[in-house]
Amino acid sequence: MVFADLNLARRLERAEGYACRAFAEARARLDPASGSTWMECAGAYAVFDGVDSPVTQSFGLGIFEEPTPDSIGQIERFFLERGAAVMHEVCPLAGISTLDLLCDRGYRPIEISSVLYQSIATVVGSSTAGHDAIAVRAIEPEEAPLWASVHARGWAHDHPEFRSFLENSGALSAEREQSVCFLAELDGQPGAAGVLCLHQGVALFGGAATVPEMRRRGLQAALLHSRMRYALEQGCDLAMMVAEAGSQSQRNAERTGFRVAYTRTKWRLQKAQRHAPE
C-alpha cells in the first residue's frame, strides 16, 4: 500500500520538478536565446522558462531540506535577476517553518492545486478493452507538429488567444527528455493528445486534451489506459496528475482511480516587497 506521506511527496514533487526542468532544457536547446535555465538550491528546483511561462517557479521547496533565509534569497535572486516573479509550489508537508519563512518574506498564496496519484499496476490490471475504432500510439519525431496542433486545438477551444503559446509548448513537450507524446485517433482521425514524463518510477500525466468535435467518444479513457500501460512497461509504479483543487479535472481523475495525496499552495513574492536581499 502507498501512503500519502513525506516519501510519496518527495517522489511526486521531484517528478514534476524534473518535468519542468526538462521543459526549460528543451526550450534552451531549440532557442538558445530564450535564456531558459534552472538551478537546484536547498533541495528545490528553480526553473526559468521565460517571464510569463507557467513553468517559471520553484518545485519541492521545504520537503528535501529546510530552507533558510540565505537559500530563499538565492532562489529569489535567480528569478529577479531575470525579470520574473518569484513563485514557489509548496507541498503542505514542507512544514510550518517553511510557511513561516515565506510569510515573513512577504509571500502570499495565489493558487491551490490537488496532487493526485495511483498505483499503475492496479489500473492496468483492471482496465478493459477499448472501442475498436479508437487507436492510441506514441508519436514519431516528425509528428510533433501534428501532436502540437491537436493539443492546442483541444486546450484553446475556449481561449483561442492562447493557441500560439500552446502550439509552442506542445513542440517543447515533444522535444523534452524522458517525455513521450501520445495521439488518440478515432477511425484514423487524430482527436486527442496527451503526454507522459517519466522520472524514477513516477509517470506524470499531463497535456491531455480532445478537440471539440470528438469529445465524449471515449478518446480520453483510451488515452489514459494506453499511457498507463506504457508507463508500466517502462518500469513505473506510480501515476501522478495535478489539477485545480475541487475542479472538474480533479473529479475526472478521481473517477479513474486517482487519490488526492495532498493539496498544494502556490506562493508569490508580492511586488511591493520584491527585491533581492543584500
Give the whole-angstrom CA distance, residue 199 versus residue 111. Answer: 25
C-alpha cell at 43: 533541495
CATH of domain 6-114+263-273: 3.40.630
- Give me the mean pLDDT over the 85-100 stretch: 97
Residue 136 confidence (pLDDT) above 50: yes
Cβ-Cβ contacts under 8 Å for 34 (sequence gap 6 or more): 27, 28, 49, 50
The pLDDT assigned to 159 comes to 66
Residue 77 confidence (pLDDT) above 80: yes
* Partners of 65 in the β-ladder: none
- Total-model pTM: 0.90
For 225-250, write each residue's pLDDT tens digit: 999 999 999 999 999 999 999 998 89
Residue intervals in the chain for CATH 3.40.630.30:
119-261
Strand (E) positions, the chain? 37-41, 44-48, 57-59, 87-90, 107-119, 134-138, 179-186, 189-199, 202-210, 238-244, 259-269
In which residue are the cell numbers 523534452 written?
176
Name the DSSP class of 217.
S
Give the whole-angstrom CA distance, residue 58 versus residue 48. Answer: 9
Give the whole-angstrom CA distance, residue 249 versus residue 163. Answer: 20
Which amino acid is residue 70, in one-letter code? D
For 111-128, write each residue's pLDDT tens digit: 999 999 999 987 766 554
Which amino acid is residue 209, in one-letter code? A
Give the whole-angstrom CA distance, residue 62 versus residue 260. Answer: 20
Give the whole-angstrom CA distance, residue 240 versus residue 254. Answer: 12
C-alpha cell at 118: 495511483
pLDDT class for 169, splitting at 50, 70, 90?
confident
Of the candidate CATH numbers 3.40.630.30, 3.10.20.30, 1.10.3720.10, 3.40.50.2300, the domain formed by 119-261 belongs to: 3.40.630.30
What backbone phi and psi angles, to 5 degrees, belong to 23?
Answer: -65, -45
Give the whole-angstrom CA distance, residue 155 versus residue 145. Answer: 15
